[in-house]
Amino acid sequence: MLQNTDEDIARAGAILRRGGLVAIPTETVYGLAANALDGDAVAHIFEAKGRPQDNPLIVHISDLSQWAALVREIPDRAMALAKAYWPGPLTIILPKSDIIPDEVSAGLDTVAVRFPSMRTAQKIIDAAGVPLAAPSANLSGSPSPTCARHTMDDMRGRIDAVLDGGDCNFGVESTVVTLATEVPRLLRPGAVTPEELREVLGEIEIDEAVMGKLKEGVKAASPGMKYKHYSPKAEITIVKSTLEAFCQFTEQMKDKPNVFALCFDGEQEHIPLPCVTYGRESDALTQSHRLFTALRELDERGAGVVYARCPSTEGVGMAVYNRLLRAAGFSVMKL
Ligand code: AMP
Ligand code: MG
C-alpha cells in the first residue's frame, strides 16, 4: 500500500510509466489506473477486474490542455461544459483521436475523458506524465470501492499497488455525457445533475438505460450500463412504498434467516429486520457517499435477501437510484 506522500506519488507515477497498474483515489471512487496510451498496459486492467472486453474506459487528465490530443476536436459546447464542471465528477465523450488504443475505447470510435478534482489524483497523473485510463477499482460486478480497504479487498495480488488517499468525497462514479451525438445525451447519472448539464447545454436526452433496463436487442450507448453491477452477493429488491407499508411487508419476513433491510437513517427502530442504513431519506448526497459501503456491509454481515427502501430520483438521487437498480439486478416491487 502506498501512502499519500510526494515520495509514494512519485513511485506510483514510475509504476504507471513502465506499464504497471496502480489503484488511485479520486473524488468519485477508487480507480484502477494504467497508461491510457499503452494498449498492453490497459489490457491488464481488464484482466485484473474481470471486466467484459466491450466495456470502454474513462481517460483521466490533470490539465485541460491534455484533452485536445485525445479527441478529434473540441467543439464549443464541450469546452463550455468543461469550463463549468472541470475539474470534477463529469466525464465527456467525444470522437477519439488516433492515439487512443482500441483497448481503451473497446472498439468504439469515441473516447470518454475526465479531469478529476482530487488533488492527489491530479498529482499521480502528473507523476505518470501520461493520461491514465481508470475504471473503478472493483472486481467487475461488485460495488465500486470508496476507500483503500475496499480496493485492497478486491485487488489484492492482482495489481502492483494501491495508493491510500482516504475516503472518496462523492462515492458514486462520475456523470457520463456524450457529445458525440447531435443532442447531448446523459449515459450515466452522477454528482453533476441533469439540471446542471442543461444549464450549459440546453436540451439533453436521458439515455433509456439510466432509469431502467435496456430492452432485449437494443444496443447500449454506454456498454457499462447494460450489466447487473455494483452488486453484493445478496439478492436485493427495491421496494417502492411508504415507510409504514414497508414495515408491514417486512413484518412477515422477520423470522426468516439472513433477510435484511437497506433503509434510511432513523428508520431502523421501525423496521422489524436487521438494518443497514445509507443516509437520511432527504439527503441524496450522503446516500451517494454511503451506498457502496452499505452494499459491502450487507455482504460482511451475511445478508442473503435484502429489501431496500427506494431513494428519490431527483438531482443526485438519480445517480443513487441508478446504482441501486443495478445492484438489485433491476428487481423492483411496488406496495
Ligand atoms: P467505470 O470506468 O467503471 O466507471 O465505467 C466507465 C463507464 O463509462 C462505463 O459505463 C462505460 O460503458 C462508459 N464509457 C466509457 N467510454 C465510453 C464511450 N466511449 N462511449 C460510451 N460509454 C463509455
Ligand atoms: Mg465500474
CA of 256 to the centre of ligand 2 (A): 33
Any ligand 1 atom below 6 A from CB of 108: yes
CA of 288 to the centre of ligand 2 (A): 15
Directed axis angle between helix 317-327 and helix 284-300, to 10°? Answer: 20
> Which region holds residue 64: left if phi is over 0, alpha if psi is between -120 and 50, else beta?
alpha
Strand-pairing partners, residue 237, are 307
pLDDT in tens, 143-189: 999 999 999 999 999 999 999 999 999 999 999 999 999 999 999 99
Grid cell digits, residue 13:
507515477
Q: Which of 100, 187, 325 to mutate to test the pocket of ligand 1 (most atoms within 8 A of CB)?
A: 187
* Predicted structure pTM score: 0.95
pLDDT in tens, the chain (335 residues): 999 999 999 999 999 999 999 999 999 999 999 999 999 999 999 999 999 999 999 999 999 999 999 999 999 999 999 999 999 999 999 999 999 999 999 999 999 999 999 999 999 999 999 999 999 999 998 899 999 999 999 999 999 999 999 999 999 999 999 999 999 999 999 999 999 999 999 999 999 989 888 777 778 888 877 777 778 889 999 999 999 999 999 999 989 999 999 999 999 999 999 999 999 999 999 999 999 999 999 999 999 999 999 999 999 999 999 999 999 999 999 99
CA of 201 to the centre of ligand 1 (A): 20
Residue length of the chain: 335
Atom in ligand 1 nearest the alpha carbon of residue 221:
21
* Ligand at shortest distance from the CA of 56: 1
Query: Which residue spans within the chain are E strands per DSSP?
Result: 22-24, 31-35, 58-60, 90-95, 110-114, 132-133, 161-162, 175-178, 185-188, 205-206, 235-240, 259-263, 275-277, 305-309, 332-334
For residues 136 and 168, give the distance between their C-alpha atoms in angstroms, rounded to a whole number: 12
For 226, other C-beta atoms within 10 Å of its C-beta total 18
Rounded to whole angstroms, what are the CA distances from 123 to 60, 134, 139, 162, 335?
Answer: 12, 15, 25, 15, 49
- The continuous run of DSSP H or E covering 176 comes out as strand 175-178
113, 232 in Cβ contact below 8 A?
Answer: no
The CA-based diameter of the chain, rounded to the nearest angstrom, is 61
45, 51 in Cβ contact below 8 A?
Answer: yes
Grid cell 500500500 in the structure block, residue: 1
Atom in ligand 1 nearest the alpha carbon of residue 174:
4
Residue spans of the domains in the chain: they are: 6-210, 235-334
Any ligand 1 atom below 6 A from CB of 111: yes
CA of 245 to the centre of ligand 1 (A): 37
Per CATH, the homologous superfamily of domain 235-334 is Threonylcarbamoyl-AMP synthase, C-terminal domain (3.40.50.11030)
For residues 28 and 214, give the distance between their C-alpha atoms in angstroms, rounded to a whole number: 25
For residues 134 and 22, give the distance between their C-alpha atoms in angstroms, rounded to a whole number: 9
Q: Ligand 2 being an ion, which residues bring their Cβ within 5 A of it?
A: 135-136
For residues 271 and 264, give the distance between their C-alpha atoms in angstroms, rounded to a whole number: 11
- Residue 63: the pLDDT is 98
243 three-class SS: helix
Any ligand 1 atom below 6 A from CB of 224: yes
Amino acid code (one letter) for 52: P
Any ligand 1 atom below 6 A from CB of 176: yes
For residues 276 and 196, give the distance between their C-alpha atoms in angstroms, rounded to a whole number: 31
- The continuous run of DSSP H or E covering 203 comes out as none
CA of 147 to the centre of ligand 2 (A): 14
For residues 197 and 261, give the distance between their C-alpha atoms in angstroms, rounded to a whole number: 34
- Residue 218: the pLDDT is 79
Q: Which of 329, 322, 332 is nearest to 186 (CA)?
A: 322
Name the residue with the closest Cα to ligand 1, atom 3. Answer: 135
For 224, which DSSP code?
Answer: G
CATH of domain 6-210: 3.90.870.10
The DSSP bridge pattern shows strands 31-35 and 132-133 to be antiparallel
pLDDT in tens, 207-224: 998 988 877 777 888 887
- Residue 188: the pLDDT is 96
Q: What sign does the CA torsion over 103, 106, 112, 118 have?
A: negative
CA of 92 to the centre of ligand 1 (A): 10
For residues 93 and 185, give the distance between their C-alpha atoms in angstroms, rounded to a whole number: 10
CA of 119 to the centre of ligand 1 (A): 23
Name the residue with the closest Cα to ligand 1, atom 20. Answer: 222
